[in-house]
Structure 1
């Protein structure tokens, strides 16, 4: 199964869980885009649902697909969140944020009664860290946070836009990709990053994901977290 076909298959399997009158958190990125398109088709076929979006790009795609949107600032909980990942390990710990929406994605995931991660098989790893860890940083604190990341053993790289300017999140903050190599203790790293003033959010998702749907050469594999601890 080709990578795009695997992503599409994982997305279709996840959106099958959406029922009438659910509020769905829509993720950001290439895999989540298949879920958005699929939900649009289900709405055209009669599904009644509404959604919140984790990014401006997702808002645009959802509206184009005919999905009714609510402003997340008026929402305290969603029924299901569906999103991809850059890496995910057997303990359902993930690195997310390659698309730059990690802070909004984490907030929506934390609000979800059930968070479903959809990936192609290439995103499953034994240990996190091959993919850089994105963080969202207050522009005022760029140098301070970067030096603190170095103190934790990481190499911070300011993310740049297509014309060489610093990339910005939808909140107008800077995005820094931190190269740590294999992460032996994701929980300890997450706690240390969260203690850095000016670091607004990191891409380690350690407790948010409840279910994993993997599209691979042999079809769809579903995994459930045995005991969900939030």
Structure 2
């Protein structure tokens, strides 16, 4: 196991060990979260803890089934005890950019529903200022007008294209994903609101309004 993978595993396992018997757990998407799910599966098997997970993507739902994690929905459990997710960039003030896996719409809904939001990362994701391209989920009908307005905000929107698939990436919700570069983001909260105010935008990958309930776990390697 290389150092980065070991750090991700360390972060995921530490997050999973915060989960208590009887909790409803939001399950994010991505490699570090999958280590948390691996550990939760171990705890279910060895300790007999009883939990339910709310997955943020089809991939997460399939992985949860592999690990023996029972699933439920936000309709049945609109308030979650904890949500565990990863991030692409995180600042010291706990503001972040997410969405490399194109699941940020459901991830933000699940994080908002959780009492505690636990974000698992390796040290490479720590930054002083957010500057990665911002993933944005856009209703296909509106992408032309949305891109024009993103440009007026100083952004450079680029449609995310598939790998091993011709054409655009389509989210689990049936929408387009654009990655929009803004350079250094000096006001993450303001930009998050401005992007979401554009008709046709479903959600963007800036997470700047949940810092009070957010716990960042940075994984370590031996």
TM-score tier (shorter):
over 0.9
CA distance in 2, matches of 1:134, 1:164: 19
Q: Give the match for residue 116 of structure 2.
A: 114
Runs of 4+ deviating beyond 3 Å: none
Q: Is the 8 A contact 2:16 2:39 kept in 1?
A: yes
CA distance in 2, matches of 1:147, 1:154: 9
Q: Which runs of 5+ in 2 are unaligned?
A: none
Q: Give the match for residue 92 of structure 2.
A: 90
1:70: how far off? 0.4
Q: Give the match for residue 228 of structure 1.
A: none
Q: Give the match for residue 6 of structure 2.
A: 5
Q: Which runs of 5+ in 1 are unaligned?
A: 220-230
CA distance in 1, matches of 2:146, 2:172: 20
Q: Which moved more, 1:67-76 or 1:135-144?
A: 67-76
Match of 1:215 among 200, 216, 219: 219
Q: Give the match for residue 139 of structure 1.
A: 140
Secondary structure at 2:216's aligned position in 1? strand
CA distance in 1, matches of 2:154, 2:75: 36
Match of 2:166 among 164, 167, 172: 164
Q: Give the match for residue 32 of structure 2.
A: 31
CA distance in 2, matches of 1:73, 1:160: 32
Secondary structure at 2:44's aligned position in 1? helix
Match of 2:200 among 198, 220, 223: 198
CA distance in 2, matches of 1:115, 1:191: 20
